[in-house]
Structure 1
Amino acid sequence: MAHLSFTPIDSQFTTPVPDSFITDKMLSASATMIKVYLYVLYAYQKKLEDFTFASVAEKLDILESDVLKALQYWDEKDLLTLVHDPSSDNWSVLFASHASVPPKGQEPLPDREASASVQGADSKIIRVEQKPTYSPEEMACYKNDPKIAHLFEESQKILGGPVSSANLSTLFSFYDYYRLPCDVILYMLSYCASNGHRELRYIEKVAQDWSDHGIKTVDQAKDHVATFTKWRPILRALHESRLEPTDEQLIYFRRFLEEYQMPMELVLNAAERTYDNVGRANLNYMDSILKNWYSQGIRTLKAVEAEDARFQNSRQSGRKTASAGSLNNFKSSFDDQDLDLLKKQALDRTFDERSQS
């Protein structure tokens, strides 16, 4: 049997690769996945500048979406950590120590230490200029995948009609860019459609939110929906059409229910008053109502009605007092001589009218 021998080379022109990648992870990965990992690892170690999804895709002659898909694949395999910043749409690739698989007989680090190793790892920012677009030719190719064909077919049924080419591209991005499984996408479409939202522009916002929350199964999606379902009556009372509250609204809603410990019926009443009086969802105005009730110890609708009645009575009493004061002032402005003069003038007019007749 022939034996192989190795000649040492200058490490300046080499890129170290983790043993676990070669002996384990690489074996079940596709050629595209392997190319992306090796090139990104090379770019990271050589500190390449202007490193983007587009530059990787161009270098490897693949789609930008394939780059993202490969990085997410290696993230799941624990060879790197991919972090998305929605505010800037940047992605960070974190490489932990190459000694991710300990030598034989050596125990792995405890979880706390392993976590610290990852947190202390260097990172590489990958800028994403924009969400990938898909040509008709690419979409025709993707439709050959039975699960994608099923996704498109079922989506048209849920959305109530044919889906345009542009919308099919958006729909495919839920799977390819936002990394939502097909069954989660179909559940999301049904969820949005059942609440009167069939526009893919709106549904895409939901897709991004679910992707940011790491939703990978239908059960996770149901739990996520259930978490926000309790806020929907407040949104309706404020005449908001959205299915889930914004981060700012969520802060206020939790304050009403948890800090002020207000029953939901009072929160809804305050929301209705806010819209009736202001004409929009003014959270500061709504907060002032509930904060006032909280300070007065009001916790029931009956107590609210009693406070409303007391307020109305005090207003009416104030008006009567003000009216009486005005009349007294009016009377006191005339002396007896003035009243006698007015009576004489009225009597003279009456006499003149009768004389003329």
Structure 2
Amino acid sequence: MAMITLQQSSGQGVTVLNNNFIDNYMPEANGEFVKVYIYLLRLLSDVSVPFSLEQMADHFFCTERDIVRALKYWEKEKLLTLSYRSNEDIADITLNMPPLKQTSVSTPVSSSASPLSPSVSPSSETVNAAQPRTSRTSASSTLTPDRVKELKQNDEIVQLLYIAEQYLGKTLTPGEMKKIMFFYDELKLSPDLIEYLIEYSVSRGHKSLRYIETVALAWAQEGITTVAMAKEASSRYMKDYYTILKAMGISGRNPVDTEVTLMDTWLKDYGFTMDIIQEACSRTVLSTGQPSFQYADKILSGWKNKNVRNLADIRLLDAAHEKQKLEKAAARRNQAPKAASQNRFNNFHQRTYDFNEYEKKLLNQ
């Protein structure tokens, strides 16, 4: 076999990628997470490149929550360290030397690089995105080569891999096979439930193993162990999704991935009841004249930061906001030159307001 020599014509504009990362971390990581990590390395090599979570999200055509999820993943893998401001926004990101992965326990070797300081928008303080949280290891990183080899001899696994290829319409890669084995061996999902998981995802237009894995992790976290339980949970969430779409004035279509991510955040991470979410959707349409999940998310994230738990809390916030507006207006009038009050167009008795009484009226509406 003839050998091929690789050469580069210039050493300018190079981002160095650690071989340990390529060999041990990249194969098991989500492709989107890998892109975020490599882009961070690229930013370190050129300090002139502007950096914020919003700019990274625009660069990769994704949401800020997707970027935060990637950062959280690499922090869990000890490839970077995050520090936060008092309001829980990310303040600094320190890249570490990828710890050596060995079969025996070893002491990670870390070498801090220069910190990156992002400018984070308020809505990016919550993580995810987007996706259901779980304490289990993602992407089947705990499966050893020997265990994978053993599972490939299991008749149930062989059948599952065949069924998955039929549903997905393609030959599975080794990484995709490993994910399905992870559902069976680590998440302890039954073969029937895994088959339904794949069928459920494909029927909704999602043939990505990344999406299927996200659903599997969510089901494992919620303690779903049978097909009947999965169908009940799916029906419950789909009902909530369509209720929110209706509140946005959207009908005749299914929610897209980005919308599902935000709705899951409102329902699961924020823990809001449907009446609060519907109120945010109504205000979004009234303010923007069109459905906007990002605008609604800003409203809901603001309410979460102010510990809103019911509609009465929202009315209190509205009353406080209106009172503040009236006080500012009164202060501006009091600061106006006295000469203006002598103008014949202003020669009338100025109104005064009892702000406490006004607040009571608002709350009783």
TM-score calculated relative to the size of structure 1? 0.38
TM-score calculated relative to the size of structure 2? 0.38
Considering Cα pairs closer than 8 Å and 6+ residues apart, tell me whether 1 or 2 has the greater RCO.
2
Q: Which has the larger radius of gyration?
A: 1
